[in-house]
Amino acid sequence: MRSDLPPHVMRRWIATSRNVFLIFLLFGLVLIWAPQLRTFALSLAAVAVAIVVATKEMILCISGSLMRASTRAFAVGDWIEVSGVRGEVVDHSLLATTMQEFLPNSFHYTGRTAVVPNSVFFSSPIRNLTVVRDYTFHSFAVTTEADVDLPDRQSDLVAIVERHYGPHREEAARANAGIERRSGVDILDPESRIRFSTTDLGKARVTISLFCPTRLAEVLEDAVTLEVMALLHTARKEEPAREEMH
């Protein structure tokens, strides 16, 4: 190297030479240790895969919790149904949601606590039932033999339903309108409905639908069912007499 070069040029050459030497040294080490580095990378990947597999459910639970928070699907105190479990949410965490369980197809507490992992939020729809906490659409059916002329008894059936449901009709209409305002959608009218159909065995069926207070749904069902059964029992007795007269 020429000694008459300016100092700044010499420093530049020295720095460049050092950097080139380090690059070749690093490249040589990579070539020498390539098999070991490849083995280490494969081992690291295997460990990572094992960790992911082992913590898959935990990751799904945490992801489900983030999905619940981002979509605001429900909060503590809401009534929900998920993965076949219906109840009131009493607690939720990153991993699980705790509910006070309801009886099947009702809103009565069983006294049992259900803990649902948040991972089910990705495989089952979340139904928020809070909107029907006070009022709900409740349907029930009464089945009888096919020899009963149900259309001929329609006025009697309407009278029975009206006698029990009438006192709640006005309040139900206000609740129905309130639900429509809060949800922003049109739902079924709160009028009682009576439908006639048959079962797979050819029996006659009366299906009654009410929009009623949730706390009184089963009470109204029991009262209406008892009177309808009595009416249909009387009708079956009267059918042979009518046939004889004709």
Q: What domains are there in the chain, each with its CATH number? A: 57-130 (2.30.30.60), 134-245 (3.30.300)
% pLDDT > 70, the chain: 91
What integer pLDDT is reported at residue 200 of this predicted model? 87
What integer pLDDT is reported at residue 115 of this predicted model? 92
CA distance 7 to 12: 9
What integer pLDDT is reported at residue 145 of this predicted model? 83
Lowest mean pLDDT among 5-9, 42-46, 199-203, 204-208: 5-9
- In angstroms, the Cα distances linking 244 to 132, 173, 188, 235 are 50, 46, 44, 15
Look at 202 and 239; give whichever has higher pLDDT.
202
Q: Is 95:61 a contact under the CB 8 Å cutoff?
A: yes
Of 95, 179, 102, residue with least CA distance to 135: 179
What integer pLDDT is reported at residue 162 of this predicted model? 92
